[in-house]
Amino acid sequence: MKVCIPTNEGTGLADTLCGHFGSAPWFTLCDSESGEVTVLRNTNAHHSHGTCHPLSQLDGQRFDALVCLGMGRRALDMLNAQGIKVYRPGAATVGEVLAEVRAGALRELDGAHACGGHGHGHGHGPHTHDV
């Protein structure tokens, strides 16, 4: 499975997950079967609420799932409409997420746990939503 993971530093497998999809400085694409890793800069990471378009930064990139700590309802709905599942990890690094993917240990993110927007009560660090 090819997964997209919003990350903080763009350093590959050792990179940490960013707290929010739209604000991620980097997107790390990983193939759980081959182990291939591609890192893309999110040039739209700094934006006003409601004006982010992180999917435009991934245009042309094919992936089956997105693994992130938090994202807004609009982005979740757009990804789901394209047949891309969104998962919440228990892991803190890209390498650990890949281990979760391979073990089938990810939990699907649903609309009830999507973020309400920038400055919402959940913050932009690791989200503390209960599943």
Residue 127 within a domain: no
Provide the residue range defining the domain that includes 78: 2-45+56-113
pLDDT digits (tens, 9 = 90+) for 28-74: 999 999 999 999 998 877 544 444 455 666 767 889 999 999 888 88
Within a domain: 24 = yes
Joined tokens for residue 75: 């982005």
Ordered strands of the 26-31 beta sheet: 37-41, 26-31, 2-7, 65-67, 85-88, 107-108
For residues 13 and 16, give the distance between their C-alpha atoms in angstroms, rounded to a whole number: 8
Q: What is each CA distance from 49 to 32, 41, 93, 106, in whole angstroms?
A: 33, 20, 26, 28
- For residue 68, the domain's CATH number is 3.30.420.130
Question: Could you tell me if residue 130 is inside a domain?
Answer: no
Lowest mean pLDDT among 109-113, 116-120, 124-128: 124-128
Residue 131 belongs to a domain = no
- Taking the whole predicted model, whether its pTM rises above 0.85 is answered as no
